Amino acid sequence: MNGLMMDQPLLISTLLRHAERHHGTQEVVSRRVEGDIHRCTYVELAARSRRMARAMAALGVAAGQRVGTLAWNGYRHLELYYAVSGSGAVLHTLNPRLHADQLAWIADHAEDQVLCFDKTFLPLVESVAQRLTTVRHFVLMVDHDHMPASTAIPGLLCYEDLIDGQADDGFEWPAFDENTASSLCYTSGTTGHPKGVLYSHRSTVLHTFASALPDALNLGARDVILPVVPMFHVNAWGLPYSACMVGAKLVLPGPGLGGKSLHELFETEGVTLSAGVPTVWQGLLAHVQSQGLTFSTMRRTVIGGSACPPAMMEAFEDTHGVQVIHAWGMTELSPIGTVGILKGHQQDLPREQRRTIQAKQGRGVFGIDMKIVGDDGEELPWDGRASGELLVRGAWVVDRYLKADHDGQPGPLVHRNGQGWFPTGDVATVDADGFMQITDRAKDVIKSGGEWIGSIDLENIAMAHPAVAMAACIAARHPKWDERPLLVVVRKPDASLERDELLAFFEGKIAKWWTPDDVVFVDAIPLGATGKMLKNRLREQHGGHLLHKD
């Protein structure tokens, strides 16, 4: 027997409609690429989103088609979040920090029809425009006066002209099945090409509910939220959606991610909550400390993407009175999986013990189930000691990657043990209170300042050098970037090759920041039974290499 309740699909457009009707005068403040500060209300943002939705339809974007963005955190990007997904098309946020070749590959793979981008990225888009096989329209996210006098992009469109060309009256967001695709992010997986994670309206709205809970990010209408985490990095951890759900003021920092620029915004806009990877906070804390500044309104900051160093937690909490919310997530999880808020009986523990718990990655939020398994797939106990691969499942966890079947990747990837669990590639313990702690990573990727560097790509380049017999690229711990790529190389017999020559060989083949920091030459690389390089062993041997340099 069915329940007798209204059947209302969980759609992203409902978040914006709610913000408009219930928090209409709440502000969205953006630092623009143009250099100034822009302010609007949710009422204005909603109206402009509807006009942009009409403009996209006029460009021929149909339901299910992808619209790419290359943009900072700003109100126009936010309008696209709602205009594109709200219409039933798919918002594909591209990461502008990737190399042009990778971007072109990803845009082609996603079959993006339209590409909207900030002026910062005009040279980048000019360099790839000719190569993109599916993009029919390029949209520069500026007003008419900021359009370039000339450009290599034929028929370049102006964002504000598109909005001006449409009326707002009579527009209704379409209703459709909540399982319809809404947005798309690519992640540099462990092997081969980047992989597309295609979120749905349902998964996004459920993730939004969960992320706002008191023991998750604890969001409310009194909050002023400044997401430092980019809107091209797993939807800024869902904050563009959750801010609308709870009616919070949003402050979007645009390209101004330096300590000074961020601190100014925190203070002038009264920011209460922020979110970002540890590397960003290092820059901010250094600035605040060197200038003798304080945080007069900020109460909480979400830190995730990489482990939050204990010293950072101390600086925020003890020196500045800012609570650190340590969170763990993945692109494949939309991204929130666990959050490290203490339980009642832990709150009065001695400081050191509390810190030990807070250094863990946290407890699963409702909607995410997790378990750790040993090599044989057997579930391990939650005793804080047994360590195994972390598997998760839930309503906002990927089931399979976009076009996985075409790419020769495993189709449904979660059905390990026939039970529908997604293997995260993280190795973890879980304690009796349900706090998960990452102890190692089984996947061969490097996370530098919160962004992935694909080790396979770097190895392939190194192996193409005529003097290299074998090359492994591993994550070495780094004081600023958390991890940086380190090459471990076996030279060919009788070949001579030195560090600088090999590093110069990477020039032009990858984004500059992907270049390995150093090379260690060895006689042999340890191999496993199936001939795979034992990267865990290499990480044990050389993972500390960069910490001792400089």
Question: In angstroms, rounded to a whole number, what is the distance separating the alpha carbons of residues 31 and 439?
Answer: 38
Q: At residue 123, what are phi and psi to the nearest 5 degrees?
A: -60, -40
- Residues of span 166-225 touching ligand ADP by CB under 6 A: 187
Torsion of CA 43, 46, 48, 53, to 10 degrees: -160
Q: Any contact of residue 329 with ligand ADP (CB under 6 A)? A: yes
Beta carbon of residue 451, minimum distance to ligand ADP (angstroms, whole number):
7
Beta carbon of residue 534, minimum distance to ligand ADP (angstroms, whole number):
19
Which one of 195, 249, 360, 447 is the catalytic residue? 447
Beta carbon of residue 15, minimum distance to ligand ADP (angstroms, whole number):
20
Report which DSSP code applies to 333: G
Over the window 474 to 513, marking each residue x when it contacts ligand ADP by CB under 6 A and - when it does not, the resulting string is ----------------------------------------
Q: Any contact of residue 304 with ligand ADP (CB under 6 A)? A: yes
Q: Which is nearer to ligand ADP, 26 or 211 (CB)?
A: 211
Beta carbon of residue 90, minimum distance to ligand ADP (angstroms, whole number):
19
Q: Any contact of residue 450 with ligand ADP (CB under 6 A)? A: yes
Strand locations in 94-244, DSSP E? Answer: 112-117, 137-140, 157-158, 181-187, 195-200, 224-227
Helix ranges (H only) for 145-258 are: 159-164, 201-212, 234-237, 239-246
Which one of 69, 187, 272, 301 is the catalytic residue? 187
Q: Residue type for 476, please? A: A
Beta carbon of residue 103, minimum distance to ligand ADP (angstroms, whole number):
16
Over the window 330 to 369, marking each residue x when it contacts ligand ADP by CB under 6 A and - when it does not, the resulting string is xx---x-------------------------x--------
> Is 447 tagged catalytic?
yes
Q: Angle 531-537-538 (CA atoms, 0-180°, nearest 5)? A: 95
Name the burial class of residue 483, with classes exposed (0-12), middle (13-18) and buried (19+) by CB atoms within 10 angstroms of its CB: buried
Q: Any contact of residue 238 with ligand ADP (CB under 6 A)? A: no
**Tokens 């973890």, residue located:** 428
Beta carbon of residue 134, minimum distance to ligand ADP (angstroms, whole number):
25
Q: Which is nearer to ligand ADP, 13 or 306 (CB)?
A: 306
> Is 249 tagged catalytic?
no
Q: Any contact of residue 285 with ligand ADP (CB under 6 A)? A: no
Q: What is the 3-state secondary structure (H, E, C) of 227-287?
A: ECCCCCCHHHHCHHHHHHHHCCEEEECCCCCCHHHHHHHHHHHCCCEEEECHHHHHHHHHH
HSE at residue 511, side-chain half, CA atoms within 13 A, is 18
> Is 187 tagged catalytic?
yes
Could you give the strand order of the β-sheet that contains 137-140, starting from the edge strand earlier in sequence? Answer: 157-158, 137-140, 112-117, 66-70, 90-93, 181-187, 195-200
Over the window 417 to 446, marking each residue x when it contacts ligand ADP by CB under 6 A and - when it does not, the resulting string is -------xxx-----------x--x-----
Beta carbon of residue 299, minimum distance to ligand ADP (angstroms, whole number):
20
Which one of 72, 396, 452, 514 is the catalytic residue? 452
> Is 332 tagged catalytic?
yes
Q: Which stretch binds ligand ADP (CB under 6 A): 4-12, 35-43, 328-336, 488-496?
A: 328-336
Question: In angstroms, rounded to a whole number, what is the distance separating the alpha carbons of residues 177 and 200?
Answer: 10
Q: Which is nearer to ligand ADP, 229 or 244 (CB)?
A: 229
Question: In angstroms, rounded to a whole number, what is the distance separating the alpha carbons of residues 122 and 100?
Answer: 12
User: Which residues participate in catalysis according to the annotation?
Assistant: 187, 332, 447, 452
Contacts with ligand ADP, residue ranges (CB under 6 A): 187, 233-234, 304-307, 326-331, 335, 361, 424-426, 438, 441, 447, 450, 452
